[in-house]
Structure 1
Amino acid sequence: MAATTTPTRSRWFKLVWIIPIVVVGAFLIVLAAKGIRGLPAVQSFLHDYPGQSALPSWAPVGFPAWLEWQHFLSSFFMLFIIRTGWQVHTTQRAAAYWTRKNAGLLKTKGQPVRIPLHLWFHLTVDSLWVLNGIVFYVLIFVTGQWVRIIPTRWDVFPNAVSAGLQYASLEWPTEDGWTNYNALQLLSYFLVVFVAAPLAILTGLRMVPGLAARFRPIEKLYPLKAARAMHYPIMIFFVAFIIVHVALVLATGALRNLNHMYGGSDDVNWVGFAFFAGSLVLMVGGWFAARPVILAQLAGLGGRVGR
């Protein structure tokens, strides 16, 4: 028993040491930011660039219902993508394996690919997340919501620096997400939606068992090792983004922010919080429901599950 648990304990022990490092690092950053803000040149910079880049006059205001659903579904799927991604990265021996009945492209040397059950779940949730993302891309461009997460002015960059300095000094930039994100938020969302998400998909496709062999003609152009080297850090990026995003949502006016994405209004009341709490209940329920015995039954609908 000790031989099987030692690697896991060692891994978590290393992760625990990250906590004091992060705390000390954050404290030093806050001190440095407060000192920098006191400089006359920096004060002048903050005056010229308050942290928000203006939007075109036709930019939409508020968040439509479809965007609220998209936000929830993306969060729900991402929870299980991260969970199963970690399992793929750390599990040495799977509890069960899945083989597709009609293998199609998922073949290696003419034989159906046999993959761990948690990898099957990972690929399944990935597919749902990608489908949800496609709908999101279409709707933001059809409705004009794209202008809120794609830079349209060059001053977004100095304004992002300004917003970052304000966050770091714990003197928050003016929050008005209902009409316009601050520049750092805008660039962060752009990075997530149009850079990190496509990279996660491209690197993930490169590693899909069965499909990986079909990419051999472009091995020199897009090596499998490169995809593997990028895919895991992208997951870490998403985890870090989610932690920071949720922390700032709660720290910069929780009720108003939650109403934006769950209550469909700019009011300060408990409606958005109630929907947010309900979404957490669904996530927790889904987390405990995603047990191997249930996953095996679902996977059995499209393939064979066994040891």
Structure 2
Amino acid sequence: MPAFFPMWVVVTHFLNIFLMVLMFRSGIEVLSAFPKLYWYDDCPPGREWLRLSKKMYAADSSRPWSSMDEEESWSPMIALPGRKNLGLGRHWHFMTVPFWIVTGGVYVALAFATGYWHYLVPTHWSIVPDSIRAVGTYLHFQLPAKIPGEPFEPAQKLAYFTVVFLLAPLQIATGAAMSPTILARFPWYGRLFGGKQGARSIHFLGMCAFAVFIALHVLLVVVHGLPKEFASIVLGDPTGNRRVATAIGLLGLLLIAVFHVGITWFSLRYRRRTQRLLGLVVNPFERRLSRRLTSRQKLGRHRISAYHRVNGYPPTGREYEQLAAAGFVDYRLSVAGLVANPLQLRLADLREMALQAQITEHNCIQGWTAVAEWTGVPMALLIERVQP
């Protein structure tokens, strides 16, 4: 077996395929909840640089609308699980990402430990003109020569270096920059990417770059000869049994496809059960992250957004309509249960309590952001009064 196709490369390559399909499909589901991309965090309607939807809403629209109206229902053929299931899409995505990072970390560690990195990392600037010539050779429907003693030609080597050591870390970094917890605790980190929306846009472009790389990668596998490439990819040996390698490779791809059909059906059929199962992996990490990282946001009034989306419509029940018609004078906030001092508070009572105001960025689970000044009664004050 050639030294440049060790079995650990074969295994991590398959795991990468398996995990990236999961991330792509679940990421598309997350994107469908707010299929608009901005470069700044105010997210004013109509100012997005990319809109993957036919729906259009304006800040001064005469017809009331909610951010929920912007959500799209994309097909389960491309999204996981599809059909407006943002929560499940996020769970699938957050469950997959750590395994993808670990797989990539193992790959890079073994590459440097075994010397395989020589086939991935260019050591001379001549790789750039050599890659340009290699691309030109492909455009003339010919195959460029491989680098002597290496498994790749110059364009392949440069592409692998870019994907492994630049694009993948960028995706991880921008993914972290979309976390409300991390942004609140480390505001400077979000500013590196222009805020959450900048990170979100870069993350989307990174996904597109990965998609282009994968498409070209598959095309080159076909161009170089599918049986031969399957022997290298599956057996780690281009001189191995090509029929066996092709059969194993196609079987592996078939199993991945069957797996996705199964999890999509299960997720749509048993949504709550799927959420609980995925939560066994996702929830503990999210709890640790949110409990240990406290907010350090300090925003001035100049940061307040000119427009702030809402997540829903007012209630339509008779009780609400009666309260609204009377100016909510009959509204009561009931704080009862396992407390020493149950309370019934009117709006006037709440307004007479010590109010707290703060300017905070709202990070909606849909994906949009906006800054507003929030005023209300601190929960700690209510807890102190009722004495749980």
Q: TM-score range by the shorter chain?
A: 0.5 to 0.7
Summarize the alignment of residues 257-268 of structure 1 with structure 2, pairs less than 5 Å apart: 257-267=229-239
Structure 2 contact 29–89 (Cα < 8 Å) conserved: yes
Structure 1 residues 156, 176: CA separation in 2 closer, same or farther (over 3 Å shift)?
closer
Q: Which runs of 5 or more structure 2 residues have no equivalent in the other structure?
A: 34-70, 74-85, 285-388
Judge conservation of contact 1:163–1:184 (CA < 8 Å) in 2.
yes
Distance in 1, Cα, partners of 2:249 & 2:149: 17
1:242 alignment partner, SS class = helix
Higher relative contact order (CA 8 A, sep 6+): 1
Q: Deviations over 1:40-80 (max 9, x none)?
A: xxxxxxxxxxxxxxxxxxxx733111110000001110011
SS of 2:238's equivalent? coil
Give the equivalent residue in structure 2 for 1:76: 18
Instruction: Give the corresponding residue for 1:275.
Output: 248
Aligned positions, number: 226
Three-state SS of the structure 1 residue aligned to 2:181 is coil
Where does 1:94-243 land on structure 2 (aligned, <5 Å)?
A: 116-174=87-145, 179-222=150-193, 223-243=195-215
Q: Deviation of residue 275 (structure 1)?
A: 1.9
- Alpha carbons of structure 1 residues 201 and 195: separation in structure 2 relative to 1, 3 Å: same
Contact 1:205/1:211 (<8 A) preserved: yes
User: 2: distance between equivalents of 1:273 and 1:297?
Assistant: 38
Distance 1:62 1:186 in 2: 13
Name the CA shift for 1:155/1:89 in 2 (closer, same or farther; >3 Å): same
Distance in 1 of aligned mates of 2:181 and 2:126: 46
Distance of aligned partners of 1:138 and 1:218 in 2 relative to their CA distance in 1, 3 Å threshold: closer
8 Å CA contact 2:183–2:190 kept in 1: the answer is: no
Q: Tell me what 1:86 maps to.
A: 28
Q: Could you say which residue in structure 2 is the equivalent of 1:44?
A: none
Distance 1:87 1:286 in 2: 18
* 1:93 to partner: Cα distance: 7.3
- Deviation of 1:297 (Å): 4.4
- Equivalent residue number for residue 286 of structure 1: 259
**Structure 1 contact 70–132 (Cα < 8 Å) conserved:** yes
Cα–Cα, structure 1 residues 193 and 300, in superposed 2: closer, same or farther, change >3 Å? closer
Cα distance in 2 for partners of 1:203, 1:181 equals 30
SS at match of 2:5: coil
Q: Distance in 2 between matches of 1:165 and 1:237?
A: 20
User: Of residues 239, 257, 280 in structure 2, which corresponds to 1:301?
Assistant: 280
Identity %, equivalent residues = 30
How far 1:127 moved relative to its partner?
1.0
The structure number with the bigger radius of gyration is: 2
- For 1:242, give the aligned amino acid: I
Q: Separation in 1 of the partners of 2:12 and 2:148? A: 17
Output one character per residue of 1:200-220: Cα deviation in whole Å (capped at 9) or x when no partner. Answer: 000001112433322324444
Q: Normalising to structure 1: TM-score of the pair?
A: 0.68
CA–CA distance in structure 1, aligned partners of residues 28 and 279 of structure 2: 23
Q: CA RMSD in A?
A: 2.5
Unaligned runs of 5+ in 1: 1-59, 95-114
Counterpart Cα distance in 1 of 2:248 and 2:190 = 47
Give the secondary-structure state (helix, strand or coil) at the position aligned to 1:207.
Answer: coil
Deviation at residue 155 of structure 1 after TM alignment: 2.1
- How far apart in 1 are the matches of 2:263 and 2:179? 22
